Structure 1
Amino acid sequence: MLLRNARTLIGTTTIVLFWAVGAGWLAQPLLDLAQRGAPPGGQTVAPATYAAHTAIVLLGTGTVHRDGKLVPPRDAIARIAMSADLYARCKQVSSVCHVIVSGGNPQEHEATEADTYLPYLLREEVPRGDIILENRSMTTYENARNVAAILPDGYYGSLMLVTSAYQMPRALLNFHRFGMNPLPVVSNTRHAKRGVLPRRENFFDAEIALHELVGIAQFHVYRQIGWF
């Protein structure tokens, strides 16, 4: 009887939540929470920030099929462009500039994230000899762990971390966990589009935000019980 009486309330609440996410009114607050603490996108990195040996870490964000080809998704393109821009600026003042691309194959596609992104960095005039591929990591935690394993002690005087605003807070938690203190450089920030009708992109944004918020909570829980 109680369940029967609650059906209308549950159904109405579900419809309202569905609409609020799709129309952007709930998706945007979720994005704001996930992106809170990340530096603003488009920030300028001062020349003095680059050391004689500088490493730029580009975090992967999956791969997608488009026109029969495996390609980087939109957010990855922004990260690649930002990393290439940092590299070009680095070469003006530093003797050694490396771009470390970190991303395995969690989606089980025909190639890893790092290998898929490589040609795009080459097109942006980053020489192959200055690109280090880390193509085994499956999670942000493994990104940090595997990057830490390939950084020689004391070799890089400057370390930069390039990713989207929504991933930056969680990425920094993991990089700090492995003793690294990179300069965070945001490649892009996501914004929901508020309106009357639900949009597919807003559902995608809400899913991304929830994934990051759950990931942050998971990190702290795992740290408390000694798993991280």
Structure 2
Amino acid sequence: MVRKILPLVLFLFTVFLMYSCSKSSSTPLDQIEDLSGEYISYGDNYQASTVVVKMNDDVYKMVQEGVESDIEGILLKQDDMLYGAMQDEQGVAVAIYQIKSDQICGMWYAGEGGLLPEVISKQTVEEVKGFEIKPLTGVELHTLYEVRGEIGGNEYNSILYIEPYGENTYDLLWEDAEGIQIGIGIVHGNSLTVAFFSEDYKFWGVTHYKIDDQGNLQGEWSSYGNWMVGEEFAEGVDSLQEMDEQVEEN
């Protein structure tokens, strides 16, 4: 009896392993908690090998090879979206991706020109198409903001200037007691995603803001090499004098 049952048990166990491996390997990307792995990135005129590594709860490191120069990136995950900043020897770019079942689809912007599509996939993609760009409607961004933030238990304050650069793209500049940071941003729906960097490029990362009906900004950010997530709120003001008056009242 044992000899008859044993082959059956082994057969069923083998089938179970095959089913488990098949199921885990084909799990849709939008249903897994950790996106770490090797991918292929496709753009309009390029293909690159991409490695994604989880560094913190919702923060990933990304490295792309096979383009003109190696690109390092940081990705901030929120629900089914990834908001990123990338840097290479030519400068910094900002990106937005949507996590779909079989690929990560999005667009990036490098501070000039237009928005460019990109697909990150584990399979060959014959045609690259970014997801629809939805302009912000009914709300205008302020040109001047008072910023309050916190990261790692430390609070900070700064001034933020925002200027439109092109269709759905913006230039940004933060100023505080420690110096100046520069940013380039994309508006998509009711959100503003920004790649920020110091003038010497030694400090850089990504910020993602939600925009409310008054044009105020609230979101999260993280920097490359630190990987902690900070929170930030930026309230639109009409002038620096108004900002000073608010500070005196508080």
Quick check: TM above 0.5?
Answer: no
Structure 2 length-normalised TM: 0.27
Between Structure 1 and Structure 2, the one with more helix by share is: 1
Q: Which of the pair has more CA radius of gyration?
A: 2
Structure 1 length-normalised TM: 0.29
